[in-house]
Structure 1
Amino acid sequence: MSANSRLTIAAHALTWIGLYQRRGHEVATSEQIATSVNTNAVVIRRLLGELRKAGLAESRRGAGAGWMLTRDLAAITLLDVYQAIEAGPVFALHRATPDPECVVGHGIGPALTAVYDDVEAALRRELAKTTLEDVLRDVLKAA
């Protein structure tokens, strides 16, 4: 199973837009962002559409069309981005109910639910600690 990169791509796109705006540009096109991410602009537009619904980005149509942030990088956490693009929990239980007559089938749900709830809480705590301003600072340090 491959890891999900949507949070990384979304954080990349928003951080890129924030830097681009700081450098005096009003809006960024999905093509420009896609070049930095090294993906198709359609992927970026879909992701930015989700971020727009969450109030993290907005788009302008027509002449001078493109994307912009709705707030400063320092006011957007990785948790904000995560909540905008991830619909459900990190881990899920079985799609079909296990055999209730089996000792493992009967008890696996409650046993794992407690662990999964703790993992989800820890993930949210950690993501809430980092803003996109922090990400940009570290990106610029690495450059």
Structure 2
Amino acid sequence: MKKDSRLSSVLHVLLHMAQSDGPLTSEALARMLGTNPVVVRRVLSSLRESGYVASTKGHGGGWVVACDLRKVTLLDVYRAVGEPTVFAMGHRLENPQCLVEQAVNEALDDAFREAEALLVERLGGVTLADLAADFGRRMKRVRPQPCRNDVHAKR
């Protein structure tokens, strides 16, 4: 099963936008992620609806962060991108007749709920500002490896 990387991708471009001196185009953001600009616009539109980013059209336009990074958590962003499924694992049958499989499903459901609750709690405890600060610390320690459009090397 393919992994859902929307949250990771969105966090990546949010940090680039936060570090940028001006708007970044969908094309530039797509190059960073190795994807199509249409995909970037589709994902960022959900963040725009939540008030986390804004976009302007025309020459000099693009995407910018429109929120206070200290007030937006990874959980907020996770919810804005549609709460992607956390686990690829699931039940063989959702409503089994077999009592053994019912016991297995119940045990797995409990484990999945506990693990998801822990993940949600952790996502809620990290802000975009925390990520930006970590990025800043990393930039000071090592020569940055450029993303696809060499954004770090320009700073």
TM-score bucket of the superposed structures, by smaller chain? 0.7 to 0.9
Q: Taking every aligned residue pair, what percent have the same amino acid on both sides? A: 36
Q: Which residue, out of 80, 90, 94, partners 2:91?
A: 94
**CA pair 104-54 structure 1, distance change in 2 beyond 3 A:** farther
- Which amino acid letter does the alignment assign opposite residue 13 of structure 2? A
Cα shift readout 1:23-63 (whole Å, capped 9, x = no counterpart): 3x2x2211122233333222211211121223221222344
Confirm or deny that 1:69 pairs with 2:65: yes
The match for 2:80 is 84
The separation in 1 between residues aligned to 2:50 and 2:100, in whole angstroms, is: 40
Give the one of 119, 125, 129 matched to 2:121.
125
Cα pair distance change 1:122/1:70, threshold 3 Å: same
Structure 1 length as normaliser, TM-score? 0.80
CA distance in 2, matches of 1:39, 1:29: 13
Q: Normalized against structure 2, the TM-score is what?
A: 0.75
Q: What amino acid is the match of 1:8?
A: S
| RMSD, aligned CA | 2.3
Equivalent pairs counted in the alignment come to 138
Q: Distance in 2 between matches of 1:94 and 1:54?
A: 33
Shift of 1:96: 4.6
Higher helix share: 1
How far apart, CA to CA, are the structure 1 residues paired with 2:46 and 2:92?
26
